[in-house]
Amino acid sequence: MSKLRTTGTLFLMLFLALGVAAQKNKTTGSIKGKVKTESGSAEGVRVTARQGEREVAAATTDRKGQFEIAGLAPGRYSITFRKAGLSLAEIKDFEVVAGKSRSLGGDLVLPVDEGSLVFIKGSVFNEEGFSLRGAQIELARIDPDGATKKIDGRITTRSGDFAFRLPAQTARYRVTAKMDGMAAVSKDVEVDGAAVYRVALSLKTTPR
């Protein structure tokens, strides 16, 4: 009898707890969504719900860029998205409704914070000093042992320009320009932090 009474008491406590949780879900709402990034992983983005200057609740995106903030009182919130290396994003005046889980809708794409990147920019000219459109540009990383590995490529614009965006880390790169009928030319670039690094390359016609 004592065992039956104990079991019945546990069921009653569980029933009451579920009832309280259900009631709580009816009086609060939640926000969910998915974040993407222009470059890199969407994991670890801090998503914050604010009312005015007050931070009410926060969550962090998972490996798929998904998040959910639950237990929010009905009202309007500003939702901010922050991660090192990415530009801060904000959705203002987002309404939370009691008893509902509202999705932000679609995928929010966070752009890269250009102040945290390395830019290698340059121009290609012919031997007369005119800009060369359509030249092939290869970017290779130079390892400490001198070996090179191609990591990206571009075609010069109408004005003969090109640009690469890279992580802000100390490294050495080799930029090579090629074009049919002309001798290829390369220049090495030493990178030691976030900044714009410029290079000019001149191609000469191959003698026949």
Q: What is the pLDDT of residues 55-98, one digit of tens each?
A: 999 999 999 999 999 999 999 999 999 987 788 899 999 999 99
pLDDT at residue 179 is higher than 50: yes
What's the burial of 38, exposed, middle or buried (CB within 10 Å: 0-12/13-18/19+)?
A: exposed
**Right CATH number for 114-205 from 2.60.40.10, 3.40.50.300, 1.10.3720.10, 3.40.50.1980?**
2.60.40.10
Q: How confident is the model at residue 34 (pLDDT cuts 50, 70, 90)?
A: very high
Domain ranges within the chain, ordered by starting residue: 28-110, 114-205
Mean pLDDT of the chain: 86
CATH level 2 (architecture), domain 28-110: Sandwich (2.60)
The candidate with the shortest Cα–Cα distance to 49, out of 76, 88, 12, 22, is 76
pTM over 0.75: no
Residue 1 CA to its chain's centroid (Å): 62
